[in-house]
Amino acid sequence: MIKIIIIFFILIFANISNASTKKNIINSFKKINNLSFNFIQTIDGKDEKGDCIINYPKKIYCSYKFKYKKVLVSNGKSLVIKSNKNNQYYRYKLKSTLLNIILDKDYLISKMQNTEGNLINEKYYNFKIKNELGEINIYFDNNNYTLIGWQVEDLYQNLTVTFIYNIKTNQKIDNNLFKLPELF
Domains and CATH numbers, the chain: 2-64+103-175 (2.50.20.10)
Q: What is the DSSP string of 89-134?
A: EEEEEGGGSTHHHHT-HHHHHHHHHTS--EEETTTEEEEEEEETTE
Share in percent of the chain as helix, strand, coil (round to 5): 25, 45, 30
pLDDT at 2: 52
Residue 101: other Cβ atoms inside 10 A: 20
Tens digit of each residue's pLDDT, the chain (184 residues) = 454 444 444 434 444 445 688 999 999 999 999 999 999 999 888 899 999 999 999 999 999 997 778 899 999 999 998 887 777 888 999 999 999 999 999 999 999 999 889 999 889 999 999 888 888 999 999 999 999 999 998 666 778 999 999 999 999 999 999 998 765 4
pLDDT at 168: 96
pLDDT at 183: 57
Is-contact 35 51, C-beta < 8 A?
no
Q: Looking at the whole model, is its pTM more than 0.75?
A: yes
